[in-house]
Amino acid sequence: MKRLVVCLMLGIGTMISVYAQSSTDMEKKITELMNQMTLEEKVAMCHAQSKFSSPGVPRLGIPEIWMSDGPHGVRGEINWDNWGYADWTNDYITAFPALTCLAATFNPELSYDYGVALGEEARYRKKDILLGPGVNIYRTPLNGRNFEYMGEDPYLASVMVVPYIKGVQTNGVAACVKHYVLNNQEQWRGHISVNVSDRALHEIYLPAFKSAVQEAGVWSIMGAYNKFRGQHTTHHELLNKILKEDWEFDGVVVSDWGSAHDTKEAAIYGLDIEMGSWTNGLTSSIDLAYDNYYLATPFLKMLKEGEISEDVLDDKVRRILRLMLRTNMSENRAMGRMNNSKHSDVARSVAADGIVLLKNENDFFPIKPDAELTIAVIGENATRSMTVGGGSSELKAKYEISPLEGIQKRYAKANILHSLGYASGPSAYGREIPSELDADSLVNEALELAAKADIVLFVGGLNKNHYQDCEGGDRKHYKLPFGQDELIEKLVKVNSNLGVVLVSGNAVEMPWLSQVEGLIQSWYNGSEAGNALADILSGDVTPSGKLPYSYPVKLKDNGAHYYGELSYPGDSIEQYYKEDLLVGYRWHDTKKFKPQFAFGYGLSYTSFKMSDFKLNNKQYNQDEIIKVTCKVTNTGDVAGAEVVQVYVGKPKSKIKRSVKELKGFNKIYLEAGESKTVTIEIPVEKLKFYDETVSDWSLEQGNYVIYIGNASDNILNKQKINIK
């Protein structure tokens, strides 16, 4: 066997090489290490020693664990004891698109590329745990952190998260899936108690975490701030019973920063490493504030007094050492890579693949780049940096191509005019700062430019300020902020040849939709944002993104808001998910609320035809696989991609169900005139529901309907099957 670079001193005069070839070898080495550790050394490994690290055991050569935000890029280096930036000059990174964009690609292969590239940068920065990806479900369009997650559908999030995790972990860096579980809003996140049915918990809010564990083999998971039925989720029976017992998760549970609240609960209910329990480790009056964490000196005291069994501690330490043998004590760990052209290419590909074309009257898009046009680009988001702000996911990007810069580079022959039109104020985490610019002057300048342009592109939406798409607070309303709705309506009156580009991680109200020619949903697309947008605008890339969440016409059309404040945001103490299973398109389908834009929707510059719909059978047993096939033809003039989406419904069910649920999809790229046959496999066992009467999964027999289409509201074929 090969020898590890790091050898561990296990007792006086004894050097033992550590190998990580098999799980048996790994567990043996863990046992050998633990036998040499003191009680104090074990406890020390269970809590932070700085803002983003936990201690090892120097006496035995066991290294520290270093962690970093976040899901879209490795965060700039933070000071040891406070949230200030360390002002390093070598921690600039590639900013990758936000996970809403990744989900909108419906492309698992790109998700893997994303994970590999991100993991390489984390490894190069000597990080052992990357704090992401996020898979909390998009329940309300007001949630400030929706941009960090993978949409409203548990199946889509489950499929997309697995390759991301595998990609990151190929580098010997642990992905840390978050936030387990039910952290679906930022308002009152630290104490709100979520009440939801067991069925909705298991069918909507847990599946992506389950796939992360059982399919991706994730090495760490982060707890959430909120409570579930009165108990904080960072130390909750959900961790022991579901995560560690039912799913057999063998990794480490890390608290969110400050989400631990009690020593005994943290110890016995599954928390392994406690991070960030105080904002600043130096403000405590004791010599070393980190020793006063819940899983520090108070934990040690309970262990010594016999109030907590040492077996509880040993399980935590065993998990931590197992993570180390997979990361910073692994003999096969990659070296990592930083800021290279391949990473930029991945970022640009994901961004372009995820941008969604929502409206295109009179073929407004694409705008040919060789025409000598005057193009007025209006809107603050055309130039505003979107890699900063947003909370813990903010990034220190090596570079960031803005939408305006991307347009200027691609449309070299055009006369490009730009005006802010509106202004939001500086980025600030935790507070709102108004702009010092005069709003009326900005509007007047924008109208003057628009009136003399051939084409107007309004680049607006949200940004990563507090009370928008930002950690720590939810949006205050569904409409566009800073007077953008009124500005768009004024712009249309002086120039009707206007298209809108929305940069956001959330749905917004669109009172002006009928008045504009074109609409593109872009995202927080990182370093290559402007280039990717120009790829789409120019037609160099045909749009193929699909919405990972529904756009309600008005806020009350969303299931979480329909039932009033006790459903969202709660009464500050308790909250009840009254829509239950009916999240997103499930709500719109079942309750007949027509969405502005449906889940899975997205237009193209070409056209597709689906035909020859077939199933491999009409009757199935529980252990069989439903195989759906159809022929997809690109009937247009340019190459493009379509997403075949397969939903399954159970009419006349004995239990409460939505009309249909996504159970399979396949993104297929076709040249103009090309045809291919797509096959999508759905194991019958995936049609099970969570049966609350037995606290387990059950399969209802009888007739089902297979829905095949290219959006949740555009079903092109239905097939009936029977489950025996």
Catalytic sites, residue numbers: 256
And the tokens for 120?
Answer: 């390489």
Residue 631 burial class via C-beta count within 10 angstroms: exposed 0-12, middle 13-18, buried 19 and up: middle
Contact 223, 235 (CB under 8 A): yes
Contacts of 549 (CB under 8 A, 6+ apart): 100, 138, 141, 146, 151, 152, 507, 584, 599
End-to-end CA distance of the chain: 51
Contact 547, 104 (CB under 8 A): yes
**Please, what is the angle between helix 154-169 and helix 108-124, to 10°?**
40
Residue type at 628? V
| DSSP classification of residue 21 | S
Q: What phi and psi values does residue 575 have, to the nearest 5 degrees?
A: -145, 140
- What gap in Å lies between CA 240 and CA 270, rounded to an integer? 6
Peptide bond into 181 cis (omega under 30): yes
- What does DSSP say about strands 518-522 and 220-223: parallel, antiparallel, or unpaired? unpaired
Contact 422, 443 (CB under 8 A): yes
Contact 592, 553 (CB under 8 A): no
32-35-39 Cα angle (round to 5) = 140
Half-sphere exposure of 226 (CA within 13 A, CB side): 27
Calculate the CA dihedral of residues 225, 226, 230, 232 and round it to 10 degrees.
-20
668-73-138 Cα angle (round to 5) = 60
Q: What is the CB neighbour count within 10 angstroms for residue 307?
A: 12
And the tokens for 78?
Answer: 């933070």
Which of 647, 655, 665, 652 has its CA nearest to residue 586?
647
